[in-house]
Amino acid sequence: MGWTFERIIVIDDDQGLSGKSADNRAGFQRLMAEVSLNHVGIVLGLELSRLSRSNKDWHQLVDVCGIFNTLLCDQDGVYDSGDGNDRLLVGMKGAMSEFELVTLRNRLLRGSRNKAERGELFTSVPVGYYKQSSSEVVQDPDEQARSMVQLVFEKFSELRSIYAVFRYLTINRLRLGFRGLRGDQIGELDWRQASAAKILAILRHPFYAGAYAHGLHRPGKKNPVTGVTEGGKWFVSPDEVQVLRAMEPAALELSL
């Protein structure tokens, strides 16, 4: 096609990375830079639409290729983004690629929702509980780990203050047993000093009262301008909880 081997550049930096955004994708950014410098005659790929699953990024590439007369080629054909028909076709390819990502994400969310409806979805396990290899959540087999959670409730009933409970645990050097959730420490019991925030989380968690809840926390969204996550909420109001159902028996037998 007129290019010697020395003039062919293979860009594979983005393997294993999501095409949802061009951020942190050095390969795609390099491709954009090379095309913008008029160094590229043709962009080759098995599925060009997989270069980006964002319509914004995809059309930006198509626009730049049209300006510098850079061809696009995949296993279906060769496209000139300066031609109206070709531009429409590659635009549809990009739109379908983004729609495929949205469909996949929605399917995963529906699966998680259905699992939550059955009371089987646990992204984390409350202190004093243990997630078995079968994904079933049971009371922690370590008696001391269970008794420390019991102590938190007893002391709060007595002292009526989260900070007072925190002070009591700190002064007496009492630690809670946390189970590792990931990596090499998965399932391992780790004894750590509980923060006041963690004590609050224990006292407010419905699991200890025999109720399964999903959607207790609302994740925020990252502002692309400031880079700050906004709109998140650590504890939502009861009417915002997505799933709340009774469990039998109650998680811990609390004698308060």
Can you give the pLDDT of all 256 residues of the chain as single tens digits?
567 777 788 887 766 666 566 677 788 888 889 999 998 889 988 887 777 778 788 888 889 999 999 999 988 899 998 898 988 988 888 888 888 888 888 998 898 888 888 878 887 788 888 887 777 788 888 999 999 999 999 999 999 999 999 999 999 999 999 887 776 777 788 899 999 999 998 998 888 888 887 777 666 676 666 767 666 655 666 666 666 666 655 555 544 4
Query: Quick one: pLDDT at residue 116?
Result: 80
In a domain, 229, yes or no: yes
Q: Are residues 106 and 217 in the same domain?
A: no
Q: Are residues 201 and 217 in the same domain?
A: yes
Place of tokens 């002391």: 155
- Comparing CA positions, the residue from 117, 89, 23, 97 lying closest to residue 53 is 97
> Is the whole model's pTM more than 0.75, yes or no?
no
Among residues 89, 116, 143, the one where a domain terminates is 116
Q: Which long-range contacts (CB under 8 A, 24 or more apart) does 155-158 make?
A: 156/199, 156/203, 157/256
Number of domains into which the chain is organized: 2
At 11, which CATH number?
3.40.50.1390
Range of the domain at 38: 5-116
Among residues 91, 116, 141, the one where a domain terminates is 116
How does strand 42-44 pair with strand 71-74? parallel
Query: Quick one: pLDDT at residue 254?
Result: 47
In a domain, 256, yes or no: no
